[in-house]
Amino acid sequence: ISVEELRELDKKHFLHPTTPIKEQQVEGPELIFESGKGIRITDVNGDEYIDGVSSLWNVNVGYGRKELAEAASEQILKLSYGSSFFNQSHEVVIRLATKLASIAPGDLNVSFFTSGGSESNETAFKIVRHYWKLKGRPEKRLIIGLENGYHGVTMGTTSATGVPEFKNMITEIAPGFLHALPHQTECEKGDKSHPNYERSIRGIIEKEGPENIAAVILEPIQGVGGVNIPPEGYLKSVRDLCDEHDIFMITDEVITGFGRTGKMFGVEHWDIVPDLMCVAKGITSGYVQLGAVMMSSKLRDELADMSEGPMFHGFTYSGHPTACAVALKNIEIIENEGLVENAREMGEGLLKGLKYLEENHKITAKARGLGLMAAIELFKDPETGEGFAPELFAAPAVVAACKQRNLILRPLIFGGMNAVAIAPPLISQKQDIETIIEILSDSIKEFEQKVL
Ligand code: PLP
């Protein structure tokens, strides 16, 4: 089958996620991938690209790991499918739940499995509402997310998401979701005189009444919303606030989990333990679909004591054996190869490189990153913060210029932002980071020459 035929069939039969339908229909796919090895991915024309964003921030151990293929194949031959409904179980899901308990922060030692991030967050919402309902307090049901937060695409997670663009397919959000301004540490600590107080989590809790709030959900570092790293003390202030009012703190570690930020989990940078932690993506490095919601056995036991029947919630693929076998091997690779430490070390180099770009280009500012989760922003005038006109598509143009140079990055353009995200696989080496910075620099220069 020729490349042209592939392109035509794609246009005809495939509706792509998060892609302008018209563009796909008329132009066909921008890239058709064929293979991947390490941090590189090759398309059907034989062109090789550095994957500078680990695909969707998920290919943590890089492409083409034989160990993961073998783990999947051995498991399929041994037990291709095993349900864990109706109190059935199987070995590999038990071993994965046990492994996660040993690496998760604090007392999070019980896992509920899903097939991805949206399902994990959706499950967390149902669990916290179920908890308060069982307690005889069904009115304690509101869930507060953050503006610019991203939690997935199901009805509940779309509603919890604070990036307005992701709501374009719904006519109304699901009942009981509210949004607060992110990173308002002073407000969360109780500074009522602050101008943002009313829009802070604390301000919203005060307005709605803590007796009506079930949970707060937030990403330790907002990903899709701009790689927004919270100020020191912010997560602790939210933890304290939730404790003060008996509100569940849910952290969405879908991107930040499994070493991405230079710690196994993002919250470890700020030494807090959430009540529920949602993971996906890096748990299998994207080789197969898996997600999980983690909680303490204390919470699980409380649910058990209050429940009369089953928790009517579960996916056919909750704890799929192949996914669990791959996750176990993937975590083993992350640990044995010191990839969490490598992400931290390479991340320092990456951030230094981005700071260098900031100093050496007229249009760059706000370089930020933790581990291998980083971004840099483009401004017409970084001094005044004046952005580029939307029709210039600044970040997409720079990303397109990177692609011309065989580097894949991702523009983050929600809310008028023009950021470029950089999040290569955790196996990246010094030379790879240098190449990424060099290409990004050349691409920014090309854009500067066009617009300045
Ligand atoms: N949460 C975060 C922080 C994410 O970045 C994503 C996906 O990008 C999700 C949830 C949704 O995960 P999934 O696409 O696996 O449903």
Closest protein CA for atom 1 of ligand 1: 151
Cα-based distances in Å from 53 to 58, 59, 121:
8, 8, 23
- Residues within a 6 A CB radius of ligand 1: 56, 116-118, 121, 150-152, 219, 223-224, 252, 254-255, 280
Dist. CA 359 → ligand 1 center (Å)? 33
Let me know whether 440 and 306 are in one domain.
no
From 250, 255, 285, mutation site for ligand 1 pocket: most ligand atoms within 8 A of C-beta: 255
Cα–Cα separations (whole angstroms), residue 128 to 104, 225, 364, 421? 20, 25, 42, 32
Please give the distance, rounded to the nearest whole angstrom, from the Cα atom of residue 151 to the centre of ligand 1: 5
| Distance (Å) from CA 17 to ligand 1 centroid | 13
Choose the final residue of a domain: 308, 336, 364. 336
Residues 117 and 95 in one domain: yes
Residue 256 alpha carbon, nearest atom of ligand 1: 3
146 lies in the same domain as 262 = yes
Boundary-marking domain end, from 336, 356, 386? 336
CA 2 – ligand 1 centroid, Å: 33
The residue from 270, 303, 336 where one domain ends is 336
Check whether residue 277 and residue 362 sit in a common domain: no
Pairwise CA distance, residues 78 & 56, whole Å: 30
Task: Looking at the CA of residue 56, tell me the nearest atom of ligand 1.
Answer: 8
Instruction: Please tell me the residue having the least CA distance from ligand 1 atom 12.
Output: 117
Range of the domain at 364: 31-61+338-451
Contact indicator for 225, 157 with CB cutoff of 8 Å: no
CATH number of the domain at 319, please.
3.40.640.10
**The dihedral sign for the CA sequence 136, 188, 377, 262:** negative
Q: Is 429 exposed, middle or buried (0-12, 13-18, 19+ CB in 10 A)?
A: middle
Residue whose CA is at the smallest distance from ligand 1 atom 5: 255
CB 420 within 8 A of CB 375: yes
Is ipTM beyond 0.95? yes
In a domain, 371, yes or no: yes
Q: In the 8-state DSSP scheme, what is residue 31?
A: -
Residue 204 lies in a domain: yes
> How many CB atoms neighbour CB 105 within 10 A?
19
Q: pLDDT tens string for the chain (452 positions)?
A: 999 999 999 999 999 999 999 989 999 999 999 999 999 999 999 999 999 999 999 999 999 999 999 999 999 999 999 999 999 999 999 999 999 999 999 999 999 999 999 999 999 999 999 999 999 999 999 999 999 999 999 999 999 999 999 999 999 999 999 999 999 999 999 999 999 999 999 999 999 999 999 999 999 999 999 999 999 999 999 999 999 999 999 999 999 999 999 999 999 999 999 999 999 999 999 999 999 999 999 999 999 999 988 999 999 999 999 999 999 999 999 999 999 999 999 999 999 999 999 999 999 999 999 999 999 999 999 999 999 999 999 999 999 999 999 999 999 999 999 999 999 999 999 999 999 999 999 999 999 999 98
Distance CA 85, CA 6 (A): 40
Q: Cα separation of 359 and 361, whole Å?
A: 6
Ranges assigned E (strand) in 224-313: 248-252, 276-279, 291-296
What φ, ψ does residue 360 adopt, rounded to 5°? -105, 0
Q: Cα of 162 to ligand 1 centre, how many Å?
A: 13
Within 8 A by CB and 6+ apart from 152, the residues are: 116, 117, 118, 119, 121, 122, 158, 160, 161, 254
Nearest CA to ligand 1 atom 14: 117
Q: Is the pTM of this model over 0.90?
A: yes
Q: How far does the centroid of ligand 1 lie from the alpha carbon of residue 144, in Å?
A: 17
